[in-house]
Structure 1
Amino acid sequence: METAIQALRPGYLKEGTPVQVLSNFFLFTPKHHSTSLQRYSISFIPEISFSLSRQRERILNKSRAQIIEHIGRFVFANTILFSAQTSSEFVVESLYENVIYKITIVPTGALTNPLEIKHFYNKFFNSVQSMLKLVMIGRKFYNPDRPVELPHHKMVIWPGYANSVGYYEEGCLLNVDISHRCLRTITVYDQIVDIKRRNPSDCKQMISKLLVGSTVLTLYNKKCYKVDEIDWDMSPSSSFEKEGISTDFKKYYTTRWGREIKYEDQPLLKCKLKNLICYLLPEFCVMTGLTDEIRSDFNVMKDLAQATKKEPKARLNESAGLIKTLQTFPKTRDEIKDWQLEISSDPISLTARVISAGNIIMGDNASFRINEAIGSFDRDIQRKMYTQPKLDRWGIFHCENDKKLVEQNLMTNLVQVMKTYCVACDKPATFIVASDKWGDWDRILRQSLNPSVKIIICVLPGSKGKCRLYDDLKRLTFSSFPVPTQVILNSTLKKDKGLRSVINKVVMQMNAKVGGIPWALDNLPFSNTVCMVIGIDIFTKRGSSGVLGFCATMDPHYARYGSFPKVINPGGDVFTRIQECTEQALQQFFNENRRFPKVIIVFRDGVSDSQRSSVLTDEVGAIKQAFTSLQGIVPNFEKPSLLYVVVNKRTNARFYCDNNGNTTNPPLGTIVDSKVVEKTGYDFYVMPAKANQGSMTPTHFHVVYDDSDLPCDNVEILAYKMCYSYYNWSGSIRVPAPCQYAHKLAYNYGERSDKNGPPQPHAHWTNSRALYFL
């Protein structure tokens, strides 16, 4: 397989209007360039596993004063120490829990590698923050002394910070953003008791659903653990061995933490920490984070948003406020001074550029300009769509109880909306299902569906997130009867307010599902050449097979898609699947255009920073291998140029405009590709979606591979403009549409997993040009 080389920045964006912005990045530099950092390896006798980093740190702290005599102040990083002083090898002893440990510290040279220096700075900054008595949860720090109480929801919010140090064009920078952590004010034991009271028959299943995979915080030491399993056979009276001595949990918590256990009737929470297993007591834990149940509660989310979504000025001030605190608090100020470091309190200022989103093209060549001030165009698209096939064989399925709702609410609005959008359609056939049991629905659907049916509307009983029949319906039509389905819940039809707007969106989705194009974008980059844009995402679910979502454009407007879902069995080869999808997409592109693309742009979602190198070597290699395979099959096949772009929505970078002291969000279409980007890479930030509340969150793009020799304007503008072509939303979203389609495709199959895994995609869908999974 050909080795892919990391892309380098070919220049800077030239198009657009310049705008000055502030960022939440701050200079983080040594005061004296001659300052060198030293590295020391560390070993313990008796030996302590690398996975027990907290225990290693506790033992080391017992001998901190002895170590400082040799090398001065130091930063501990599990297997190594960092210091600004040189020393020869030395040994210290530490007494911990009646065991004497011999600690050998050996110098291994000065830090010269930028990655090692970056690693030190991040460890150093973490250690400095811990001096402020902030609690580390994951990689973020939170302040339990400034809680925001939400008593009606039995929750509390801890404010905090997300920080990282890295090397950028501007130099070594500290990125500081604010963060919030939601915790329950009732214990996990209280939640278990409540579930048992409400669901006595299947309480164990409900408790497991709530807790397994969640994160809990222990009240006695403020540490976080991920729950892997609930051990129903264990209780506080269960015994275990610690350092060869048998004890039980009641004694352990009394002697180690001074806690008396009140309840005997509680199972234990099992957590796997690398090669170590620990057990937690529910009465000493509280859940953190948000569950699906909380996210679906409008009132809870509204109150959470008011507490956490800070306006731009407040957010930037809080970021800068952490640095001011570090510079004024005596202990942290002295630590920073002793290490001869300097942290600027002024945020980095830079010049960004604002790109116009351009025009939307509708049917009969009508068009309108996107209003970037509001970021959406609900009203503008209420006209004939760009392309819309005739609906000549379609139907509506509903329960007997919903007959009146369908006739009066659904059909009345459907007729009006079809006229507004000028949709040519026959009258739909209607099918009444005797009950809301899946057996009745399954029987009627199997009797009625055949490949000539364009689409069906299913009015299902239930409310959002609580529809029992939805998963069964999707499994059936994804794998056995490949007919597009549009689901409308009967609870939606019961609402008079906003129903017309809902039906507008339904008709638009239906058009996309049957192969139509609701709207197209004008003047897209690469339109002067033959180009294909691909979106890739992978859905994974605990205990089930993964699903690869692969969507590729087949037309000059990047509006018609070939969709290629692939189930990936546990331990399966993702890269082989990517190669297969690429070959299929290229063959279909040729079948429809009688030529192959000259340029391919891939937008890859769901990749963390640590995974980018494997994407470059493996996934880029898989696509290039597809090119090689086609060369052996297709005469005169020319390899297209390839740009492989990783899309990251989870970024702590923020950008602000300062208008005479009034800090605001930047305009939509603001692109940042200088100063706070990688020094040797090729990355940029785009502000693609409006923030209705609080501060705007940018999307971070990394071009990991580029052999096109094209200026960066092409891919940066394309990344922004394609955020306007996702047909589930009449406006801009945070990622390019192919990315979101790939995510939706993989999610729809993966989330429908049962004991047999995800539904196997029907062969018909591979040859379909419709976004049937929306």
Structure 2
Amino acid sequence: MQEVFLNLFPVEVKPKKLLVYEIVKTEPETLNREVRFRLAAVIAKHISSSAGPVFSVGDRIYSLQEVPTVHCEKLDLEGTAVEFRVTVKKSEEVDLERIPEGPERLVNRLVDWYYKERVPGSFRMGNVNYRAENLFARFEARLYRSFRVNVNEGMRRATRIFGGRRYLLLDPDYRVTYERDLWEEVREYIKRVLNGDEYMPDQGIIRAINERYGRTAGRRGMRVQGKNRIGEYEIIEFDYTKNPDTPGTAGEMSQTEYFLKVYGIRIKDRKQPLVRVRVLSGYYRGKEMYHVPELLVFDRMPPRLRENKKLMSALTNITKPEPRGRFSQMLGFIQGDPFGRTRGFADDDFIKNFIDVSRNPVCVQARVLPAIRVRMGDAEFSVSSDSEFLKKIQGQRFHRIPEIRTIVLVYNASREKEVLEFYSMLAKVAGDHGMELPEPVKVPVEEDYASALSKGADADIVLTFISRGNHQLYERIKQDLLVRYGTLSQNITYENTLDVIDEYRARCNERAIRTVLTLLSMQICAKLGGAPWAFSEPVYERDFPVIGLDIHYRGDWGEGTVGACAVFDPYGEYLFSDISLEENGSDLETLLSEVLDRYIQQFGDPAGLLILRDGLNFTQEQRFLYGPSGELEAIERVLSNYGISRFILVMEKKGSLLRMYKKMDSLKVENPEPGTVVIGSPFESNEMLMISQETYQGTVEPVMYRVIRPQNPDMDGIATAVYKLTRHHWNTYRSLRIPAPAFHADRIAYLVRRILRRKPKTMRVLNRPFYL
């Protein structure tokens, strides 16, 4: 066990009133006490779906939300032959402010529900309620809340804060200088932009000046002051002559030293002009005002917070804890006034909360799951991190090697030499893993890829080479090969693969080149029915296959459009996938039934199932559990029909905003190791927060899971199974954030819904991971 910090912040969102309802009228009128109690329980259950949880105690009904007057017609009680007509009205309100601890168990149940269901992302520890919050995202949203992209985004990107003022550097990236006769025109252009008389392009003023005036040489001193309708600005360029009054030449101080001292920046190119823009309130463009938000004034940072910079950085999700960039800006906003203003932008409670949490973050107990045992050919080894996995797979024979007869290469004729050289390198690396690639069928094309794809109709796989960003061509290739011809495809972009390999070759980085080729070999192996590697022990239990499930909906509560399943055997080997694509909605029961029929026909009856539902936010989770589409009920109904009583249903929860940090000491934190998991407190007993991947920069993002079935799950065993499945991948050396079956189901649904728009018709495609 180890201690970890969580970015949980105390919140006060207590419900103020407990509403009490009573039965005021019944037909028949004379009812004994037991019948009234039973009626109250039935009514509470009847109205709880629309008003949250509603409980009954005796013949009274309790709720935290307003429930309209209820008239229940023809209400049947089990065990009676009488139909009841009942009217329920509010009788009183209980002030919960006067019952802080909730003396009644009923009140506690209602309040707990309020925090966990009505306030998504909230957690309760003892009598304190917490909410996970990305502080920096909140901070940044406030800072740029009033910015409009068309005017101020370019200005924000092109400016820097030095010495309490905002400066526009003409050109820190391009180091552009201008001829003397052009500078006046450049200056006037800047003035027009600042006054709102000229539109500032989205890419920013620097690039606009470059495109308008070009890159030329020359120097001239100039200083202009002005004032627009709201703000004021200064445009300054220094003349680097030997005039004693010119900045940078006084005494023994060099120009570079002067700039470093006065402006806090080191200008390597002395010809670079510097424009200082100080905005009092904002800009006008036409009749619309765009203003810079008011900033916080905070006299001094508390000593404890100043010492605790790294923890503060972690709690705000700032990627670089060093005093520069966003982190430096954050400290500047808390310490003083970067724009020279005298008023604040953030409320005192926000800053007080930020400081208090930085002093005393929420600390909980976590465990680190054991390393995963992996098989490749005759070798078996353990893997505990991404870097270790990448190192150990090199040169190992693939676990199961497919038979490959024909590979077709479709590429632009102008890059034929590069493509053939790349394929030769790929074949060599694949051969080192025991997978022999045949001599390819070469199909060079000029522009019309579509006509060339028919030549790959009978191939085992078609490798297509296209430029990055050509989405229409990519979609056309996928549609033709997967749907029209029923042929597997692997798309490779020149920029992301061939050009990257050329860059690595220029740096003599053979290890990086081999990594790129190994990952591609693994993906081709999996697509053709092989298995690059497998687990040496069952994912959960023997005869417990794994199913990834995803459903795409039209609206929040609309009918399903695409349902997808990806099926893996108990040792994590891919078996097959299936899709339900209906005009008027996806029939989940039919989809699951077809999947189980195929599995049972090939492998026999399973002892149980591990089902992983792709990520759901709070609204989607409510629909999944309680919505009219009845996903949960459909799953239970199908499994009951097949006599499968043992099954585990795990759901990924989106939008938790949680972060986890390994506690080193009181002032130091690090990213947790892969496999670090928090089970139970401060979450529900069936929830867990897991770190599955490794990161080399910034903070790692954990994933939250909820086990829906069974009611009393083996959380340790399920956590181990989920962690194994996040390691299960073929096309990246890093762990997936979510279990592979759920990820695969999501990819299937996306590909079919957005690109193919129909179901592949051949089993040859559906029996392979065609969607990668």
TM-score range, shorter chain: 0.5 to 0.7
CA–CA separation in structure 2 for the residues paired with 1:526 and 1:657: 27
Equivalent position of 2:319 in the other structure: 309
Q: 2:4 aligns with which of 12, 21, 30?
A: 21
Counterparts of 1:531 and 1:122, CA distance in 2: 32
Match of 1:714 among 689, 713, 717: 717
2:682 maps to a residue whose letter is V
Whichever of the two has the greater Rg, that structure is 2
Give yes or no for contact 1:393–1:426 (8 Å, CA) kept in 2: yes
| 1:657 alignment partner in structure 2 | 662
Cα offsets for 1:523-542 (capped at 9, x unmatched) = 234333x1121112244689
Code of the residue aligned with 2:704 in structure 1: it is H
SS of the equivalent of 1:531 reads: coil
Q: CA deviation at 1:470?
A: 0.9
Distance in 2 of aligned mates of 1:749 and 1:652: 30
Post-superposition offset of 1:119: 9.4
Indicate conservation of the 8 Å contact 2:386/2:735, yes or no: no
Query: Could you tell me whether the CA contact under 8 Å between 1:390 and 1:425 is conserved in 2?
Result: no
For residue 608 of structure 2, what is the aligned residue in structure 1? Answer: 599
Shift of 1:355: 0.6
For 1:613, which of 612, 622, 628 is the aligned residue? 622
Q: What is the distance in 2 between the residues matched to 1:532 and 1:354?
A: 25
Q: 1:361 to 1:400 in 2, by over 3 A?
A: same
SS at match of 1:401: helix
1:173 aligns with 2:173: no
Task: Show the counterpart of 1:442.
Answer: 450
Q: 2:625, 2:360 → 1: CA distance?
A: 36
Structure-2 residue corresponding to 1:642 = 647
Q: Does 1:588 align with 2:602?
A: no
Please give the per-residue CA displacement for 1:372-392, whole angstroms capped at 9, x wherever unaligned: 384642552442111121211
- Residue 427, structure 1, aligned to residue 439, structure 2: yes
Q: Please point out which of 384, 397, 401 is paired with 1:388.
A: 401
CA distance in 2, matches of 1:652, 1:608: 11
Q: 1:561 to 1:193 in 2, by over 3 A?
A: farther
After TM superposition, give the deviation of residue 261 of structure 1 in Å: 7.8
The correspondence of residues 463-502 of structure 1 with structure 2, limited to 5 A, is 463=468, 465-466=469-470, 468-491=472-495, 492-495=497-500, 496=502, 497=504, 498-502=512-516
Corresponding residue pairs, total: 524
Q: Give the C-alpha shift of residue 361 in structure 1.
A: 0.7
Q: Which 10-residue stretch deviates more, 537-546 or 517-526? A: 537-546
- Tell me, in whole angstroms, the C-alpha distance in 1 between the residues paired with 2:371 and 2:333: 36
**Structure-2 residue corresponding to 1:724:** 727
Per-residue deviation, 1:761: 1.3
- Any residues of structure 2 matched to 1:174-213 within 5 Å, and which? 174-180=131-137, 181=140, 187-188=149-150, 194=201
Structure 2, unaligned stretches of length 5 or more?
A: 21-63, 68-90, 97-101, 155-198, 205-229, 231-280, 293-315, 336-345, 505-511
- Aligned counterpart for 1:348 among listed residues 362, 369, 375: 362
Matched residues in 2 for 1:343 and 1:389: separation?
55
- Cα separation, 1, equivalents of 2:130 and 2:92: 28
- The offset of 1:367, in angstroms, is 1.8
CA contact 2:686–2:715 (8 Å) conserved in 1: no
1:483 maps to a residue whose letter is: T
1:393-431 per-residue CA deviation (whole Å, 9 max, x = no partner) reads: 221112221222222x22321231122111134322112
- Candidates 573, 589, 594, aligned match of 2:585: 573
Name stretches of at least 5 consecutive residues in structure 1 with no aligned partner.
Answer: 1-17, 42-76, 81-105, 125-138, 140-162, 198-219, 221-257, 265-280, 287-305, 337-341, 632-636, 753-757
Q: In 2, distance between residues paired with 1:23 and 1:319?
A: 20
Change (3 A) 1:432 1:698: same
CA displacement at 1:736 relative to structure 2: 0.6
Secondary structure in structure 2 of the residue aligned to 1:403: helix
Distance 1:390 1:603, change over 3 A: same
Distance 1:655 1:308, change over 3 A: closer
1:449-496 CA deviation, whole Å, 9 max, x = no partner?
Answer: 43x421111122x23x34541111012123211111111223332441
Name the residue aligned to 2:422.
Answer: 410
After superposition, the CA RMSD in angstroms is 4.9
Q: Does 1:702 align with 2:706?
A: yes
Mapped partners of 1:645, 1:189: distance in 2? 46
Residue 750 of structure 1 aligns with an amino acid whose one-letter code is: R
Please give the residue correspondences for 1:230-245 in structure 2 after superposition, counting only pairs within 5 Å.
Answer: none
Alignment of 1:29-108 (within 5 A): 37-38=16-17, 108=93
| Distance verdict in 2 for CA 1:196–1:668, change over 3 Å | closer
Deviation digits for residues 554-583 of structure 1, max 9, x if unmatched?
4231211321233354xx434x2x222211
Cα 1:568–1:694 shift into 2, 3 Å: farther
Which residue is equivalent to 1:299? none
| Alpha-carbon distance in 1 for matches of 2:290, 2:417 | 53
Give the secondary-structure state (helix, strand or coil) at the position aligned to 2:435: coil
Match status 1:693 vs 2:693 = no
Q: Percent identity?
A: 19
What amino acid sits opposite 2:432 in the alignment?
T
Does the residue aligned with 1:22 lie in a helix, a strand or coil? strand
Residue 769 in structure 1 maps to residue 767 in structure 2: yes
Distance 1:115 1:729, change over 3 A: farther
Normalised TM-score (structure 1): 0.58
- After superposition, the C-alpha distances for 1:260-313 in whole angstroms (9 at most, x for unaligned) are 98549xxxxxxxxxxxxxxxx7x7599xxxxxxxxxxxxxxxxxxx99425599
User: What's the secondary structure of 1:704's corresponding residue?
Assistant: strand
Against the structure 1 CA distance between its residues 548 and 442, is the aligned structure 2 distance closer, same or farther, given a 3 Å change threshold? same
Q: Deviations over 1:591-649 (max 9, x none)?
A: 221x1222111111231123323323421211223235xx4xxxxx5224222111135
What is residue 748 of structure 1 aligned with on the other side? 751
Which residue matches 1:248? none
- SS where residue 503 of structure 1 aligns? helix
User: Secondary structure of 2:545's partner?
Assistant: strand
User: Could you report, residue by residue, the CA deviation over 1:187-224 in whole angstroms, capped at 9, with x for unpaired residues?
Assistant: 43789985899xxxxxxxxxxxxxxxxxxxxxx9xxxx
Contact 2:608–2:646 (8 Å) recurs in 1 = yes
Secondary structure in 1 matching 2:136: strand
Q: Is contact 2:123–2:683 with CA below 8 Å preserved after alignment?
A: no
- Structure 1 match to 2:465: 459
Instruction: State the AA in 2 paired with 1:553.
Output: V
Partner SS, residue 624 of structure 2: helix
**Match runs of 1:523-562 below 5 Å:** 523-528=537-542, 530-539=543-552, 548=562, 550-562=564-576
Q: Is contact 1:400-1:432 (8 Å) kept? A: yes
Closer/same/farther in 2, CA of residues 588 and 116 from structure 1, 3 Å limit: same
Change over 3 Å in CA distance of 1:471–1:499 after alignment to 2: farther
The letter of the residue matching 2:599 is F
Equivalent position SS for 2:732: coil
- State the 1:748 CA deviation: 2.0
Q: How high is the TM-score relative to the length of structure 2? A: 0.58
Q: In the TM superposition, what is the alpha-carbon distance from 1:176 to its structure 2 partner? A: 4.1
Aligned to 2:223: none
Alignment deviations for residues 344-379 of structure 1 (CA, whole Å, 9 cap, x no partner):
96333322111113221102x212221438464255
2:702 and 2:379 map into 1 onto residues whose CA distance is 31
Q: Give the conservation status (yes or no) of the 8 Å contact 1:668–1:690.
A: yes
- Amino acid in the other structure paired with 1:724: R
The verdict on how the C-alpha distance between 1:640 and 1:478 changes in structure 2, with shifts beyond 3 A counting, is farther
Q: Give the corresponding residue for 1:232.
A: none
1:684 to 677, 681, 688: 688
Counterpart residue number, 1:671:
677
Give the partner amino acid of 2:757. Answer: P
Distance across 1 between alignment mates of 2:389 and 2:675: 13
Please give the alpha-carbon distance, in whole angstroms, between the structure 2 residues aligned to 1:522 and 1:732: 18
